[in-house]
């Protein structure tokens, strides 16, 4: 399902995050500025509600990471305009650093990727 869920955003609408405490910062920024994190898209909301990293998940942590990586790659590939990332403290091996950021850099519809916070 990660290959077909709706993760679309408006131009200049995509907000990314990785690292401790950055989800809350990214969501607050998105709400205030009319933008969207992956989990705010219809597909991201649905996948987030599945609790794939929780104790009752039918998937291993590695399988859950693969599913989220697929959805994250699609989110970055469909973004356009200016993308914002809250990534201070992100691990080098995070989904942002290994999947989303490289995808954004290769996305011809992206003008700028702004990271660091507000």
For 66-95, write each residue's pLDDT tens digit. 999 999 999 999 999 999 999 999 999 999
Amino acid 116: pLDDT? 67
Look at residue 20 and tell me if it is in a domain: yes
Amino acid 118: pLDDT? 43
Nearest CA to 37 among 66, 15, 61?
A: 15
Look at residue 80 and tell me if it is in a domain: yes
Domain boundaries, position 54: 14-115
Number of structural domains in the chain: 1
Look at residue 8 and tell me if it is in a domain: no
Q: What are the DSSP calls for 47-114, one per residue?
A: HHHT-TTSTT-SS-HHHHHHHHHHHHHHHHHH--EEEEEE-TT--TTSHIIIIIHHHHHH-TTEEEEE
């Amino acid at each position: 399902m990660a290959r077909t869920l709706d993760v679309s955003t408006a131009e200049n609408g995509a907000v990314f995050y990785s690292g401790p405490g950055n989800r809350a910062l990214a969501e607050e920024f998105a709400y205030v500025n009319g933008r969207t994190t992956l989990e705010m898209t219809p597909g991201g909301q649905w996948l987030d509600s599945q609790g794939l990293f929780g104790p009752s998940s039918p998937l291993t942590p590695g399988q859950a990471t693969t599913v989220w990586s697929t959805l994250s790659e699609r989110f970055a590939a469909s973004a356009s305009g200016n993308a914002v990332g809250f990534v201070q403290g992100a691990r080098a091996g995070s989904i942002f650093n290994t999947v989303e950021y490289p995808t954004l850099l290769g996305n011809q519809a992206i003008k700028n990727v702004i990271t660091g916070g507000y």
